A and B are shown apart, each in its own frame.
Chain A
Amino acid sequence: MTAAQAPRQAMGRKIVNAIASLGMLYLFAPIVVIVLFSFNQPKGKFNIVWQGFTLDNWRRPFAVPELTDALLVSLKVAFFSTLIATILGTMIALALSRYKFRGNGAINLFLVLPLTSPEVVLGSSLATLFISRGVDFGYVTVVIAHVMFQVSFVAVTLRARIRGFDWTLEQAAMDLGASPQRAFWRITFPLILPGITAAALLSFALSIDDFIITFFNAGSLVTFPLQIFGASRVAIPPQINVLATMLLLGSVLLMVGGVILESRKQRKTLAVTKTRK
């Protein structure tokens, strides 16, 4: 490195850091607005312009019954769709990472397709199927739609998580006389459970947040995003921000809890391996 290069390099470094910090600011500006506006005292029906600080909205977070009902609908849908998708997706991920088999590549491609198709296409095509077969829109169609994109998501993320899994552990258990079922449930399952939980939580979030696909397949069912969309032309009450902030805090706490749990577990296994040495 020549002396002339050093200052230029320091400049370049600073510029990259500056762009990255501005980018993070861009990423967080709306989040700050959401949290801040949950304390706003809006004049009129639209909580868009800052008027003044109040704790009223937080004192009555469930003051808008339609919004609360919609949130409950979303939670119910997300619970069932995540349950189904996690079971189906985990089975697929296990098949893809545990076994070498014919058709592996085709199935990989097939799995990625729903994730790389635009949501309008997924939503409108599923709705076309339901309409032309005379299926009534409602809870069932929404859960079916959500499972459709969640299955792929769970399978792909879980497969990435368990890529380096040591399958000889299962073999060892069977050598010690465990049946294949017992070996799976006692050895493999507990080890991949954190991965399954993480994939399930993320797909739960996807389900609660999904708007476009749900919009096409909900009929008269109103989920949380649909309620916000429908109401947004008439009114944007601050309770939207309060509930969104609650959801945000809840998921961040879950995430932080997960990270702490995992690092504690890692430390434990590290300690075990160290004592063995």
Chain B
Amino acid sequence: MTGVTSHRQRTVRRPELVGLGVLATVGVGLIAIAAEWITGVGATVIAIFLLAALVSVVWTAFVGGLDARRALAPYGLLKPGMLWLCLFFIAPLWSMLEMSLSSKKSRFDFLPSFTWEWGNFQKALTDFAPQFGRSFGYAAAATLLTLAIGYPIAYVIAFRGGRFRSLLLGLVAVPFFTSYLIRTIAWQSLLSDRGPIVGTIDKLGLNAPLEWLHIMNNGRLMNTPAAVIGGLTYNFLPFMILPIYVSLEKVDVKLVDAAMDLYSTVSQAFRRVVFPMSLPGVFAGSLLVFIPAAGDFVNAQFLGSPETTMIGNSIQNQFLVQLNYPLASAMSLVLMAVITASVLVYARFMGTEDIA
């Protein structure tokens, strides 16, 4: 029995390499076919080759015995999901890259053709500079605001929640269960000219200072940059609270006691002990707020004005209304590039490399 197994193991030396290799090959192959790097006969050949690769893995698992099967199992489990992502996440990015360098031959040409048209990027960066500026500015402001509001909430739940902890945490998640659009429309009611907030401000006579701070504009809260930032802050606040809570929950209260025993004040204990330990949560939360906020167009659409449009509005407009796919693709790619770059810089700055 042992002799047979060792013989069989010799036939398949590194099953895990076979598994990884096949997963990668099939993934790249599928992207190649979907993105039409290869077409016609080539695609058929590749497809047959991919099928053969899959058969060879099954064969490896079959002849390789239990050990090989165990080494191959994770790749088998990963395959369907990963291939889905290759086909519908990576291949689309490629075809968007292709589209961003294409141009329409005439106005009535529905599908643009690839011509190394760098002008799309130039146009995206010059014509839409204000939208890009507003997107990143509003998203940064919303991130800071969610941090300022979300940190105390997470802190209170984690350290003062007591037996209501999970209830409070559940309450934080409740807004997720109503539609994003409907919540934003609800802000229209709250901020409207005859709504409760403007009414209270009028009664308290706070108009002048708020106008001075540029939060109000001619007695209105709606259609101002402040309304858009407020909407973004509101919609993404739970994304900041939950990761900070997760990292604060892990902080051992004894550490704070130890710091206090060593004559630190409460604020020192917070600054030197608790806050540094919650940084991974702050990091994750800021990414989870900044990224979707920078690409959002719903808040600007419902709460803003034509002077507060963000890059998401422009991409949506170019893509679905103007049908200018090349320009919309170039704008999307610039957005993605800037976000990726800032995430990398931020990760460097925060000293945490793993985002997950």
Contact = CB atoms under 8 A, between A and B. Distances in A.
Real binding pair: yes
Interface of A: 1, 5, 9, 12, 16-17, 19-20, 22-24, 26-31, 33-34, 37, 48-50, 87-89, 91-92, 94-96, 98-99, 101-103, 107-114, 116-122, 124-129, 131-133, 144-145, 147-148, 151-152, 155-156, 205, 208-209, 211-212, 215-216, 224-225, 228-229, 232, 236, 240-241, 244, 247-248, 251-252, 255-256, 259
Contacts of B92: 122, 125-126, 128-129
B183 A122 contact: no
Contacts of A114: 85, 89
B237 interface: yes
A117 B336 contact: yes
Contacts of B73: 95, 99
A151 B84 contact: yes
Interface stretch (B40-48, B55-63, B93-101): B93-101
A65 B47 CA distance: 46
Contacts of B195: 49
Nearest to A48: B189
Interface in B131-184: 149-150, 152-153, 155-157, 160, 166, 170-183
A116 B77 contact: no
22 contacts: A12-B267, A24-B153, A24-B171, A27-B234, A29-B186, A49-B195, A87-B80, A109-B356, A111-B356, A117-B291, A117-B339, A118-B294, A122-B92, A128-B96, A129-B92, A132-B36, A132-B95, A156-B356, A215-B316, A224-B179, A228-B179, A244-B179
A37 B288 CA distance: 30
Nearest to B326: A128
A16 B99 contact: no
Interface of B: 16-17, 19-20, 23-24, 34-36, 70-71, 73-75, 77-78, 80-82, 84-85, 88-89, 91-93, 95-96, 98-99, 111, 149-150, 152-153, 155-157, 160, 166, 170-183, 185-190, 192, 194-195, 234, 237-238, 260, 265-267, 287-288, 291-292, 294-298, 302, 311-312, 315-316, 319-320, 325, 328-329, 332-333, 335-336, 339, 343, 355-356
B320 A225 contact: no
Contacts of A19: 149, 152-153
A107 B176 CA distance: 28
Contacts of A118: 291-292, 294-296, 312, 335-336, 339
A16 B355 CA distance: 29
Contact of B149 (A1, A26, A31, A129): A26
A19 B145 CA distance: 12
Contact of B315 (A24, A29, A120, A241): A120
B181 to A, nearest CB: 5
A165 to B, nearest CB: 15
A122 B89 contact: yes
B20 to A, nearest CB: 5
A49 B194 contact: yes
A259 B166 contact: yes
A225 B181 CA distance: 7
B160 A101 contact: no
A93 B298 CA distance: 32
B320 A216 contact: yes
B192 A91 contact: no
A252 to B, nearest CB: 6
Nearest to A100: B74
B139 to A, nearest CB: 10
B310 to A, nearest CB: 10
A138 to B, nearest CB: 15
A136 B2 CA distance: 57
A126 to B, nearest CB: 5
Nearest to A15: B152
Nearest to A103: B20
B183 A31 contact: yes
Contacts of A209: 176, 179-180
A121 B174 CA distance: 27
Contacts of A129: 34-35, 88, 91-92, 95-96
Given A37-B186, A112-B355, A121-B295, 13 more contacts: A26-B234, A31-B175, A49-B195, A101-B74, A114-B85, A116-B288, A119-B295, A129-B35, A132-B36, A132-B98, A132-B99, A152-B85, A240-B182
B89 A148 contact: yes
Closest 9 A/B residue pairs (Cβ): A118-B295, A30-B186, A95-B77, A88-B81, A125-B92, A99-B74, A251-B177, A95-B74, A20-B156
Given A30-B190, A33-B186, A120-B332, A248 B95 contact: no
Given A9-B266, A88-B84, A247 B234 contact: no
Contacts of A89: 81
A88 B77 CA distance: 8
Interface-centre pick from B96, B155, B234 (highest chain A CB count, 10 A): B96
B88 A128 contact: no
Contacts of B287: 116
Contacts of A24: 153, 171-172
B183 A113 contact: no
Contacts of A215: 316, 320
A145 B319 contact: no
A173 B186 CA distance: 54
A44 to B, nearest CB: 13
A216 to B, nearest CB: 7
B179 A225 contact: yes
Contact of B178 (A17, A110, A155, A248): A248
A211 B153 contact: no
A16 B266 CA distance: 13
Contact of A259 (B99, B170, B181): B170
Nearest to A40: B189
